[in-house]
């Protein structure tokens, strides 16, 4: 008699309409499992920092060089005066934006260097050399 009850429960559980609900529920759960980690990565994608040092032709650090950072989306240019050890830093840059960086000192200029949005590092290091 117990067996008949179990069989009846299984039969009720796997009726055609119920089977469709189970399949749709499993599909929705699978979609959530796929989408949820992607949403977390999108939040992490937000910002990055850029830093480095400015050197002269003899590889000596330059204090007071003007470091330029140009945003490719809106052509906005930020500047930073290099420190005594030649270091500079730009924090909180949009990770999904391309930038161009260069430095100038006493009428001389470094070559321009790209900072790509495809570079997924949170901390980017670029040294600039003024010749």
The verdict on 64 and 125 lying in the same domain is yes
**Domains in the chain: how many in total?**
2
The verdict on 32 and 57 lying in the same domain is no
The verdict on 69 and 82 lying in the same domain is yes
Give pLDDT tens digits for 106-117.
Answer: 999 999 999 999
- For residues 24 and 32, the answer to whether their CB atoms sit within 8 Å is no
The verdict on 58 and 114 lying in the same domain is yes
CA dihedral 9, 14, 18, 20 (to 10 degrees): 160
Give pLDDT tens digits for 36-75.
Answer: 665 544 445 589 999 999 999 999 999 999 999 999 999 9
Residue 32 binned pLDDT confidence (cut-offs 50, 70, 90): low
The verdict on 104 and 116 lying in the same domain is yes
The whole domain housing 20 covers 2-43
The verdict on 54 and 90 lying in the same domain is yes
The verdict on 105 and 66 lying in the same domain is yes
């Amino acid at each position: 008699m117990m067996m008949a009850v179990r069989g009846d429960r299984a039969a009720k559980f796997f009726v055609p309409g119920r089977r469709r609900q189970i399949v749709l529920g499993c599909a929705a759960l699978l979609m959530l499992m796929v989408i949820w980690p992607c949403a977390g990565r999108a939040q992490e994608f937000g910002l990055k920092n850029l830093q480095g040092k400015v050197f002269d032709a003899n590889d000596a650090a330059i204090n007071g060089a003007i470091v330029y950072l140009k945003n490719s989306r809106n052509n906005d240019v930020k500047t930073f005066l290099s420190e005594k050890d030649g270091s500079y830093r730009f924090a909180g840059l949009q990770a999904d934006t391309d930038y161009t960086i260069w430095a100038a000192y006493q009428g001389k200029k470094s070559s321009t260097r790209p900072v790509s949005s495809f570079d997924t590092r949170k901390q980017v290091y670029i040294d600039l050399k003024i010749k």
